Amino acid sequence: MKKWIKKSFHRQLLVCFGVVALLPLLLFGVSLIQTMETKINSDYEKKVTEQAEQIDAGILELFQEFEMVVENINANTRIVEQIGEDDTWSKSKIYLQFYREVTDYREYAQFDLYDKNGKCIYTTAQGSAKRDLPVYWGILKAVEDSKETLVLRRADTNDSKILLYAAGKLMGKDGIPEGYIVISMRAENFEKVLHDKGNAKAKIAIMDPFWRTIYDNGNLQEEQIREELMVGHKLLGVYRAGELLIQPLGDSGLYTALSCPSVFSTEVLNSMYSVLIVMLTISVILCVLVASRLGRNMTRPIERMNTAMRTLQEGDLTVRIVSDREDELGQMSRNFNIMANELEQSVQDKVEKQKELNASHIAMMQAQLNPHFLYNTLDTMKWVAKANHIPEIATMAAGLAKILRTSISKRQFIYLKEELELVNCYVDIQKIRFNDKFSYTVDLQEGLEECVIPKLIIQPIVENSVLHGLKESEEGNILVRITEQEDVLCIEVTDDGCGAPEERMDAINHRRQEQLVGHIGVSNVDTIIRLTYGEEYGIHMESLTSNAENPTDGQRTEEEGEVHGTKVTLRLPVRYGEA
Amino acid sequence: MRTSYSKKHKAGISVLSGLTAALLLLTGCSKSEETVYQIPEDRKLIVYTAHKADVYEPIIKEFEERTGIFVELKAGDTLALFDELQQDAPGTFDVMFGGGIENFEECRDYLEPYKVSEIDQIAEQYRTEGDAYTPFSVLPTVFIYNNKLVYPVAAPRTWEELQTDRWKGKIAFADPTKSGSSYTALCTMLQVSDQDAQKTLEDFTGALDGYLSPSSVAVLEEVNAGTRLVGITTEGMARQKILEGADITVIYPTDGTSAIPDATAIVKGAKHMENAKLFLEFTVSSDVQRLVEEVFFRRTVRNDMEEYAAPEQTKLKTIDYDIHWASQEKEKILNTWETLQGRTDEKVD
């Protein structure tokens, strides 16, 4: 996955955008919802707790008033004393008293007076028959057994809609019970109590000590409390949204369970989260759009450059990038174009050079006649000349063949003696040509025959002397003197000819090749030596003008009276070894 | 490069977890002082009852209020409950409340014997051998008829009459394979009858003409509504129905009927043994027995409560109902019954 993302700039952008856009939104959204939930819940907790306290206080107040009623009736001697009386006169008197005692509370309950056998004597109920109660069972039994002034009991389910009994004893003179006061509460009485003393809108359940419902005004499912407790669960009397707030109802033994509104019900939460999800989705879409837009903006030039580079790699040097952007990417495109231009130029140059090279190569190849044919021809000429007793031709043919072989040979270096032989051949040929009008002498210091030198470096100098130095002389001398001076091989070619013009000598001595057009022989030798052995070696050319100026070596070799000539000195290191 | 990335990631993760912690702090709720509600195990009692709600509700309520013990109740069919008694793991429930004594007889092995403290006040004929169970109330089997549709003189008086074609298809009788009281009635008929049991069963199923009431309560309703003219039920249920305003009359069979008690027993291995014992004591207490007479219109099992007895008591001619036989032959009788019922069903089809 990571790799997959990293492979595309586009996808990296998308991930970055996603993190930057979604994470804060998500964190903000979730924290907002959670904070709101907490805040609202705590507000409601306060509200509901207060409400519960208010309701409980209201009900307890009513119970206290009931207790007061019981006490007042007990204190009313007329009632207590005449309860057993059977005459109508007493009865109506008692009823009046009884009615007076309970009149304030009649809308909260029904009040009944029972005699000690459970027979109903007086009731505030309208139009309903008097209902007797067993004294051995239920509420009267509970009152009988209790020391409390007022006993509270859940009514049986079949007891004519009565939900709760509150009852007390009617004590006779000697502390003997004469009867009972039974206060019965129905659903409408509870509604009235809630309306007057609590909160009529509150969803509440009143439960007996065994967690059985006495009254409830909404579908609170408070039965579950008992079920949960019976299976051994513990329940906490704290506010929890969507659940019931359970509180003991004073010391009455009863409990109240108040419905806690679930403001942040699952649906509300879900809808809030769905809004968040919608927002997130929009963000994602925006991210994708912006990322793709921006990504394309960035990646397209890069892709174009990538393609251009690949095209360039494949050899198409004409490729250029068209971009009107001013930013770094535009600069990059322009730089690429410059680079491509230069590359194209350099390749063109190279191609042209190669073409030239190829042309010279072709020319060279064309010039290369089969050397064996030439040798053989020259050999044949030699033998033909010998057979016909023309020794000059034989000599010329043999010499030419030798020079040809050496010059064509692939060997770069030859022994000094070989070079001298070659020069000899050349001189022999030239002597024939020029009717022996010059002499050629070699003065070789002993032991230098085996020296290794680049081939054909003496011959061009000698040729130069023959062709240029001696061209106007009737009689000429060429001396080749080879010595070793401190590991430097000195090859001096001295002629006594007309000498060379100053400028040419100067050009040679200062290596100005451009001034030597047509006289490249000497210059080439200089180049060969220098390239082979380094700059300190090379050629030196000087004119021999007078005795005073002549070096002693030169003076000895030159004819007396000759005042001019040329001396060319080659300096190169002494080397031995394989040629 | 890689490590530096992962460092960055770690930094990101720590920032995230910090934020989450802050969120949790924000949203965490503060706990105020708590009231814990709980029912201690020693104040519980699990009761399975075959009684109707009219019977068990006041008794359970009064028991709870007098003792402070929380009763968990499961009500159901007699036979289903006794099946559970035999199949459930010991300790699943503590008390079996209600059901004919032949069922208790059958399940003696699953019951914990207990002798109630007022055993001397219990009529001798209802005391149990070894005190395996404690009788609760006596339920004489009686006939009822619809006052509007049947003349008093024409009403059936004997078991024999109900086996004739005269009442064919007009008798409301609950399925004895489901209702305990119905099985008792069937056994009473078999024990009263002089003729062979098979014959009696055949005659009776013939008289029922393939019809069975869905429950023992339905018998009363059907007779009251007139869909059946006569019915076989228990005295208590009939009298209660009359009190509720039903226009029916109770007939005590002149050839005798059974007056066998139902019972209460502690289940072997009961978890709440002490509370179970308290419950058994309570069921035979004079207060409850008085309620049995005065409110449930059943007959008490105590011998000291004549003052509360119903005047009809005298009309009752009881037979010496053989519980052991009823218990032992149960499977055989019910099998025969089902076979016959199947045969009549086929005829009807």
As a whole-number percent, the residues of chain A with pLDDT over 70 amount to 94
Burial class (CB in 10 A: 0-12, 13-18, 19+), B50: buried
Q: At B20, which amino acid appears? A: T
pLDDT of B12 higher than 60 = no
Rounded mean pLDDT, B14-41: 64
CB contact at 8 A, A286 and A95? no
Cβ–Cβ below 8 Å for B34 and A236: yes
Counting Cα atoms < 13 Å in the Cβ hemisphere of B63 gives 28
pLDDT of A559 higher than 60 = no
The DSSP bridge partners found for residue A573 are: A488
Cβ–Cβ below 8 Å for A38 and B27: yes
CA A84 – CA A91 distance, rounded (Å): 9
Residues B270-294: tens digit of each pLDDT: 999 999 999 999 999 999 999 998 8
pLDDT of B346 higher than 50 = no
pLDDT of residue B142: 92
Residues B234-243: tens digit of each pLDDT: 888 898 888 8
Cβ–Cβ below 8 Å for A31 and B23: yes
CA A36 – CA A273 distance, rounded (Å): 13
pLDDT of residue A218: 79
Complex ipTM, two decimals? 0.76
Query: Chain B contacts of A248, Cβ < 8 Å?
Result: 35
A234 closest CB neighbour out of B27, B38, B290: B38
CA A334 – CA A342 distance, rounded (Å): 12
Which pTM was predicted?
0.62
CA B256 – CA A492 distance, rounded (Å): 173
More confident of the two residues B202 and A546:
B202
CA A214 – CA A209 distance, rounded (Å): 10
CA A394 – CA A379 distance, rounded (Å): 8
Measured CB to CB, residues of chain B less than 8 Å from chain A are 19, 23, 26-27, 29, 31-32, 34-39, 41, 44, 54, 57-58, 61-62, 64-65, 68, 70, 72, 286-287, 290-291, 294-295
CB contact at 8 A, B203 and B218? no
Residues A57-80: tens digit of each pLDDT: 999 999 999 999 999 888 887 787
Distance (Å) from the C-alpha of residue B167 to the closest C-alpha of chain A?
A: 36
Cβ–Cβ below 8 Å for A30 and B23: yes
**Judging by DSSP bridges, how do beta strands B171-172 and B230-234 pair with one another?**
parallel
pLDDT of residue A548: 44
More confident of the two residues B29 and B134:
B134
Residues A115-147: tens digit of each pLDDT: 888 888 888 887 667 788 888 888 888 988 888
CA B170 – CA B228 distance, rounded (Å): 5
Residues A341-360: tens digit of each pLDDT: 998 899 889 989 889 888 87
Q: What is the 3-state secondary structure (H, E, C) of A363-419?
A: HHHHHCCCHHHHHHHHHHHHHHHHHCCCHHHHHHHHHHHHHHHHHHCCCCEEEHHHH
Distance (Å) from the C-alpha of residue B226 to the closest C-alpha of chain A?
A: 26
pLDDT of residue B3: 42
Q: Pick from B267, B306, B313, B312: which is nearest to B289 by CA?
A: B306
CB pairs under 8 A between A and B: 83
Residue A158 pLDDT grade (very low, low, confident, very high; cuts 50, 70, 90): low
CB contact at 8 A, A561 and A473? no
Residue A368 pLDDT grade (very low, low, confident, very high; cuts 50, 70, 90): low
- What long-range pairs does B221-227 form, CB within 8 A, spacing at least 24? B222/B172, B223/B144, B223/B145, B223/B146, B223/B172, B223/B248, B224/B146, B224/B248, B226/B146, B226/B148, B226/B149, B227/B172
Instruction: Provide φ and ψ at A262, rounded to 5°.
Output: -100, 80
pLDDT of A378 higher than 50 = yes
As a whole-number percent, the residues of chain B with pLDDT over 70 amount to 87
More confident of the two residues B97 and B210:
B97
CA B228 – CA B153 distance, rounded (Å): 18
Measured CB to CB, residues of chain A less than 8 Å from chain B are 27, 30-31, 34-35, 37-38, 41-42, 134, 136-138, 141-142, 153-154, 156-158, 209-212, 225-226, 229-230, 232-238, 246-248
pLDDT of residue B219: 93
Residue A487 pLDDT grade (very low, low, confident, very high; cuts 50, 70, 90): confident
Give the single-character DSSP code of B175: -
CA B63 – CA A210 distance, rounded (Å): 11
pLDDT of B2 higher than 70 = no
The DSSP bridge partners found for residue B263 are: B135
Cβ–Cβ below 8 Å for A229 and B287: no
pLDDT of residue B56: 92
Cβ–Cβ below 8 Å for A37 and B41: no
pLDDT of B327 higher than 90 = no
pLDDT of residue A126: 77
CA A424 – CA A188 distance, rounded (Å): 154
Q: Domains for chain A: give ranges and CATH numbers.
A: 11-259 (3.30.450.20), 413-573 (3.30.565.10)
CA B340 – CA B212 distance, rounded (Å): 13
Query: Chain B contacts of A146, Cβ < 8 Å?
Result: none
The length of chain B, given as a count of residues:
349
Residue B114 pLDDT grade (very low, low, confident, very high; cuts 50, 70, 90): very high
pLDDT of B126 higher than 90 = no
More confident of the two residues A511 and B191:
B191
Other C-beta atoms closer than 10 Å to the C-beta of A29 total: 18
pLDDT of A29 higher than 60 = yes
pLDDT of A505 higher than 70 = yes
Range of lowest pLDDT (A507-511, A560-564, B199-203): A560-564
Other C-beta atoms closer than 10 Å to the C-beta of A251 total: 7
Q: At A46, which amino acid appears? A: K
Rounded mean pLDDT, B155-173: 90
Distance (Å) from the C-alpha of residue B302 to the closest C-alpha of chain A?
A: 16
Helix (H) or strand (E) holding A257: strand A255-259
Residue B22 pLDDT grade (very low, low, confident, very high; cuts 50, 70, 90): low
Cβ–Cβ below 8 Å for B62 and A137: yes
pLDDT of residue B347: 41
Cβ–Cβ below 8 Å for B72 and A230: yes
Cβ–Cβ below 8 Å for B26 and A31: yes
pLDDT of A48 higher than 90 = no
pLDDT of residue A558: 44
The DSSP bridge partners found for residue B233 are: B142
B35 closest CB neighbour out of A157, A209, A236: A236
Range list of β-strands (E), A64-219: 110-115, 120-123, 151-154, 162-171, 177-186, 204-207, 213-216
Q: Pick from A381, A36, A59: which is nearest to A189 by CA?
A: A59
Cβ–Cβ below 8 Å for B290 and A137: yes
Query: Chain B contacts of A56, Cβ < 8 Å?
Result: none
Rounded mean pLDDT, A385-413: 85
Please give the C-alpha separations between residue B175 and each of A86, A443, B232, B253, B256, in angstroms, as whole numbers: 54, 158, 11, 20, 22
Rounded mean pLDDT, A511-537: 80
Cβ–Cβ below 8 Å for A238 and B31: yes
Query: Chain B contacts of A158, Cβ < 8 Å?
Result: 54
**Dihedral sign from CA coordinates of A18, A24, A25, A27:** positive
Please give the C-alpha separations between residue B143 and each of A439, A463, B127, B223, B262, in angstroms, as whole numbers: 178, 167, 27, 10, 19
Q: Domains for chain B: give ranges and CATH numbers.
A: 41-138+260-314 (3.40.190.10), 140-258+322-348 (3.40.190.10)
Query: Chain A contacts of B43, Cβ < 8 Å?
Result: none
Chain B residue at shortest CA distance from A235: B37
Cβ–Cβ below 8 Å for A156 and B58: yes
Counting Cα atoms < 13 Å in the Cβ hemisphere of A569 gives 16
pLDDT of residue A495: 86
A35 closest CB neighbour out of B27, B34, B39: B27
pLDDT of residue B33: 56
Q: Pick from B181, B98, B81: which is nearest to B136 by CA?
A: B98
Burial class (CB in 10 A: 0-12, 13-18, 19+), A128: exposed
Q: At B142, which amino acid appears? A: V
Give the single-character DSSP code of B257: B
Cβ–Cβ below 8 Å for A42 and B29: yes
